[in-house]
Amino acid sequence: MKAYLSRRYHFSASHRLNSPAYAEERNREVYGKCNNPHGHGHNYTVEVTVSGRVDPVTGMVCNLADLDAFAQKNLLERFDHTNLNELECFAYRVSTTENLSIEVYRIFAGFPGAHLERIHIEETGNNSFDYAGDG
Amino acid sequence: MKAYLSRRYHFSASHRLNSPAYAEERNREVYGKCNNPHGHGHNYTVEVTVSGRVDPVTGMVCNLADLDAFAQKNLLERFDHTNLNELECFAYRVSTTENLSIEVYRIFAGFPGAHLERIHIEETGNNSFDYAGDG
Amino acid sequence: MKAYLSRRYHFSASHRLNSPAYAEERNREVYGKCNNPHGHGHNYTVEVTVSGRVDPVTGMVCNLADLDAFAQKNLLERFDHTNLNELECFAYRVSTTENLSIEVYRIFAGFPGAHLERIHIEETGNNSFDYAGDG
Amino acid sequence: MKAYLSRRYHFSASHRLNSPAYAEERNREVYGKCNNPHGHGHNYTVEVTVSGRVDPVTGMVCNLADLDAFAQKNLLERFDHTNLNELECFAYRVSTTENLSIEVYRIFAGFPGAHLERIHIEETGNNSFDYAGDG
Amino acid sequence: MKAYLSRRYHFSASHRLNSPAYAEERNREVYGKCNNPHGHGHNYTVEVTVSGRVDPVTGMVCNLADLDAFAQKNLLERFDHTNLNELECFAYRVSTTENLSIEVYRIFAGFPGAHLERIHIEETGNNSFDYAGDG
Amino acid sequence: MKAYLSRRYHFSASHRLNSPAYAEERNREVYGKCNNPHGHGHNYTVEVTVSGRVDPVTGMVCNLADLDAFAQKNLLERFDHTNLNELECFAYRVSTTENLSIEVYRIFAGFPGAHLERIHIEETGNNSFDYAGDG
């Protein structure tokens, strides 16, 4: 009786795409307007999918209140209303949503209440990214 | 030429989360405001995914009219505008969306027109649940 | 420089449509499946629209933090995860979304930070209701 | 570090479901109002999912600008504002969304920038179709 | 106690924008790809807004079941799964969504259960049109 | 035969709310996390509503291609993928969405093809702002 639970969290952040390995001109070619020096921003939606056996007593995979408390402390307080490029996790990596997905996966892999299946991040209504670990 | 077809159905129902195995106080701790004695409600969206070979004559996995008729009779007439806790299938199980997903999967497993892949239920815009059988 | 600010709040509740002025059979005719004795439920979205002059110092019509605190205390704590029919305001009125809109308007008319323009309530993705006062 | 990138494209087209292998009456039985002789239309949303290793220098699975240019030329210029039944690829196949998914998969399988995982097409808000190849 | 009720209906249709008053080349200039000879299509969403006093006995502006029956007969049966250009109402008018809004307004102006306020039609997620009569 | 046409445009930008008239501490009190020194971002949706008589020859209020070209040049090229605080129009005004609405209204008031009715900006799925001029 393995079921999947998905929960969405929302935050707003700015970023600028710029690779330290590239010269200025090459950065502009690769990232286009996402390389604008003053940055730009997004309303990000993170969907966390966890799985587990449905507990016969509670009828739940895990308690959403626990997942929400974990997300509040480890996701929203760290990322909401920030400039991603200023965060330690993007000090040496470009703040693409691919890299953001990997970082958010790393965070929720530490959630003790259920098995993490996948992170899905919507950057805009038309762009989304998934990361499901290295397995 | 195996393809997947997903179809969404909508119904409104009320429920109350309360486990018969727990004392009143423990129920309030586990389910929080979802344990409110008078219940509360949701607009549920059920997405049914079936799969099959695309028929070279009709160009279809299965006829949507057949799936709709099956859903009307077996899903919507049983669940729409009800209190889930009053239904026979929740007499001994908590009416969580995890358990609802398993019950809806059991229902569509009986659809003769295509292979059932997965049930996805959205409880709110931010919470969703998937069940894909025991395999 | 009068601008309008709209903010959405979400809550889940159950209700049953049944008029004390009608006999059982007439209630069933008028309300159909919404008269189901065990009730059913919805994810309600309330959109509150307020207006005012844009303050030249803050650039705001009113502080969203104030509107949110007001909504938390006066709307969400009273309505979320309840059975509307059990609330005092529906003791003598049918819990239709029309009447809910009027009640929610009455609540936000007491918000001190800006002029209330209109309450818009979405009951499902296809049904919505507006109330803008008696004027 | 394999990640998935999904991108949505939108186009409007008309079609009529009618199988050359069936007599007129049988076509009407199978396709119902979708067999209406003058056709009808949809706003189609195509979601393309590609995967690949996240490049450590760029932080990207592939450059979205390349995927967009490919989609503009090979998907949107061919399908947007057309009658699907008039297109060569539907000369001998019924223009169902199942067959459209297979055709769109065939198109993006030729995208050189990343591995194609899946095509997802939404025909309406309630109907969607997936094709992930023959593997 | 005047309230507003809005209800959404959905249909799929094809059309081609072409003015009989223009030569072929001018039509192509004015309508661009919407002038494609084989037509194209849309999933149209019609939102009908009616208003009235909230009946103190029923708590309703009007009975949604009546509005739905009226819409089924007068809107959906006439427009769903059709080619708009083949309908009598577009015999001498271009099938733009502006003209469609005026025609749909004319239809719902005949609904006996409440006062028609406005017709809102969404042609795509980014385009919409409103008509509120000549007053 | 006056009708209304609404068109949505999307852009991503970052900003920081900070009033030059306030001391640092007061700014933090008024704007909360929106005052974060490194800024944050949004996917903004601008909906422009224009009105006019439906031209009996074209069936249109105005040509969407003209509105799109105007928006591309005057809205998207100026605002997309920028930091709003760096723009000239926010040199002396706080970059709230109220002030952004007024600025976008000023821009589209210059559109020659139809009468501007209103600017509606969605900052997130739950916050929106309208400006309809000083009249």
What's phi and psi for B37, nearest 5 deg? -55, -30
CA-wise closest residue to E104 among E89, E123, E85 = E89
Write out chain E in H/E/C secondary structure: CEEEEEEEEEEEEEECCCCCCCCHHHHHHHHHHHHCCCCEEEEEEEEEEEEEECCCCCCCCCCHHHHHHHHHHHHHHHHCCEEHHHCHHHCCCCCCHHHHHHHHHHHHCCCCCCEEEEEEEECCCCEEEEECCCC
Write the burial class of residue E86 (CB in 10 Å: 0-12 exposed, 13-18 middle, 19+ buried): middle
Give the closest residue to D44 by CA, choosing from D102, D129, D114.
D129
- pLDDT over 80 at C19, yes or no: yes
Is the confidence at residue E134, as pLDDT, over 90? Answer: no
Partner-chain contact F4 E131, CB within 8 Å: yes
Nearest-angstrom CA–CA distance, A122 and A6: 14
Q: How far apart are CA E35 and CA E40, in angstroms?
A: 9
Quote the tokens at residue F4.
Answer: 């209304």
What is the tens place of the pLDDT at every residue in B53-100? 999 999 999 999 999 999 999 999 999 999 999 999 999 999 999 999
Q: Is the pLDDT of residue D134 over 90?
A: no
Mutate which of B5, B43, B117 to test chain D, going by most D C-beta atoms within 10 A?
A: B5
Is B62 within 8 Å of B5 (Cβ atoms)?
A: yes
Tally of helices (H runs) and strands (E runs) in chain D:
4, 5
A60 class by beta-carbon count within 10 Å (0-12 exposed, 13-18 middle, 19+ buried):
buried
Nearest CB to C81 within list B33, B80, B82: B33
The proportion of chain E whose per-residue pLDDT surpasses 90, expressed as a percent, equals 98
B133 touching chain C per CB within 8 A: no
Q: Does B97 lie at the interface with C, CB-CB under 8 angstroms? A: no
Sign, CA dihedral D28-D31-D32-D37, equals negative
With a cut of 90, say whether residue C1 has pLDDT above it.
no
CA distance B129 to C2: 44
Q: Which residue has the tokens 């420089």?
A: C1
- Please indicate whether, in this complex, the C-beta atoms of A3 and B129 are within 8 angstroms of each other: yes
Give the C-alpha separation, F68 to D82, whole Å.
21
Query: Is residue C86 within 8 Å of residue C41, measured between CB atoms?
Result: no
| In the predicted structure, residue E53 carries a pLDDT above the cut 70 | yes
Give the integer Cα–Cα distance in Å for D37 and D27.
Answer: 11
Residue A76 and residue F33: Cα distance in Å, rounded? 12
The closest alpha carbon to B49, from B107, B6, B111, B104, belongs to B6
Amino acid at C106: R
How does pLDDT run across D11-35, given as a tens digit for each residue? 999 999 999 999 999 999 999 999 9
Q: Which strand (E) or helix (H) includes residue D99?
A: helix D97-108
Q: Specify the length of chain B in residues.
A: 135
Choose the mutation target among B33, B38, B85, B124 for the interface with C, i.e. most C CBs under 10 Å.
Answer: B38
- For residue A7 the two structure tokens come to 């929960």
Spatial distance between the Cα atoms of F50 and F71, rounded to a whole number of angstroms = 13
* Residues pairing with B129 in the sheet: A5, B121
pLDDT at residue F1, as a whole number:
86
Rounded-to-integer distance, Cα B131 and Cα B117, Å: 9
Identify the pLDDT of residue A71: 98
Exactly one of F40, F77, F81, F86 is catalytic; name it.
F81
DSSP D109: T
Task: Give the tens place of pLDDT for each residue, F3-43.
Answer: 999 999 999 999 999 999 999 999 999 999 999 999 999 99
Confidence of residue B1 (pLDDT cuts 50, 70, 90): confident
Distances (CA, A) of F108 to B133, D13, F101, F115: 54, 31, 11, 9
Nearest residue on chain C to F94, alpha-carbon basis:
C59
* Residue among E7, E8, E50, E58 with most chain C CBs within 10 A, to mutate: E58
Return the partners of chain E (3 or more C-beta pairs < 8 Å).
C, D, F
Q: Does the beta carbon of A6 lie under 8 angstroms from any beta carbon of chain B?
A: yes
Which amino acid is present at A68?
Answer: D
Mean pLDDT over A93-113 rounds to 98
* Chain F residues 38-67 within an 8 A CB cutoff of chain C: none
**F93 Cβ contact partners less than 8 Å away, ≥ 6 residues apart:** C59, F99
| Interval E79-119: pLDDT, tens | 999 999 999 999 999 999 999 999 999 999 999 999 999 99
User: pLDDT, tens digit, for every residue of B6-41?
Assistant: 999 999 999 999 999 999 999 999 999 999 999 999
Give φ, ψ of E94 to 5 degrees.
-65, 140
Residue numbers in D near B57 (CB within 8 A)? 19, 21-22
Count of structural domains within chain E: 1
Q: What is the mean pLDDT of residues E5-28?
A: 97
Nearest by CB: B6 against D94, D102, D128: D128
- Residue C21 has φ and ψ, to the nearest 5°, of -80, -10
Question: Quick one: average pLDDT of A115-130?
Answer: 98
Closest CA to F34 of C79, D20, C59, E48: C59
Containing domain of residue C104, as a range? Answer: 2-131
- B42 beta partners: B13
The encoded tokens of residue B120 equal 């996805």
Q: Is the dihedral of CA A19, A22, A25, A31 positive or negative?
A: negative
Give the pLDDT of residue A135: 66
* Torsion angles phi and psi, residue E101, rounded to 5: -60, -40
CA F108 to centroid of chain Cα atoms: 9
Q: What is the pLDDT of residues F61-120, one digit of tens each?
A: 999 999 999 999 999 999 999 999 999 999 999 999 999 999 999 999 999 999 999 999
* E86 touching chain D per CB within 8 A: yes
pLDDT band at E135 (very low <50, low <70, confident <90, very high): low
Query: What's the pLDDT tens digit per position in D59-93?
Result: 999 999 999 999 999 999 999 999 999 999 999 99
CA angle C77, C81, C85 (to 5 degrees): 95
- What's the Cα-to-Cα distance from A70 to each of A73, C8, E53, rounded to whole Å? 5, 25, 48
Looking at the predicted structure, is the pLDDT value of residue C77 above 90?
A: yes
CB contact set of E91 (below 8 Å; sequence gap of 6+): none
Q: Over 70: is that where the pLDDT of D51 sits?
A: yes
Q: With a cut of 70, say whether residue D135 has pLDDT above it.
A: no
Which pLDDT tens digit goes with each residue over A17-62? 999 999 999 999 999 999 999 999 999 999 999 999 999 999 999 9
ipTM of model: 0.95
State whether residue E105 sits within 8 Å of chain F by CB: no
| CA dihedral for F33, F38, F43, F45, sign (positive or negative) | positive
Q: SS3 of D9, please? A: strand
Q: What one-character-per-residue DSSP string does C54-112 give?
A: PPTTT--SS-HHHHHHHHIIIIIHHHTTEEGGGSGGGSSS---HHHHHHHHHHHHTT-T
Question: What type of residue is F88?
Answer: E
Predicted pLDDT at C135: 66
Contact residues, A window 10-29, toward F, CB-based 8 Å cutoff: 10, 12-15
Q: Do B126 and A8 touch (CB under 8 A)?
A: yes
If you search the block for the tokens 């949706």, which residue do you land on? F45
Provide the b/e sequence for E8-20 (b: ≥16 CB within 10 Å).
bbebbbbbbbbbe
Q: Do the beta carbons of residue D89 and residue D20 sit within 8 Å? A: no
CATH code for position B53: 3.30.479.10
Alpha-carbon gap, residue D84 to D89, rounded angstroms: 9
What separation in angstroms does the CA of E69 have from each of B74, C52, D33? 24, 41, 19
Is the pLDDT at B103 greater than 90, yes or no? yes
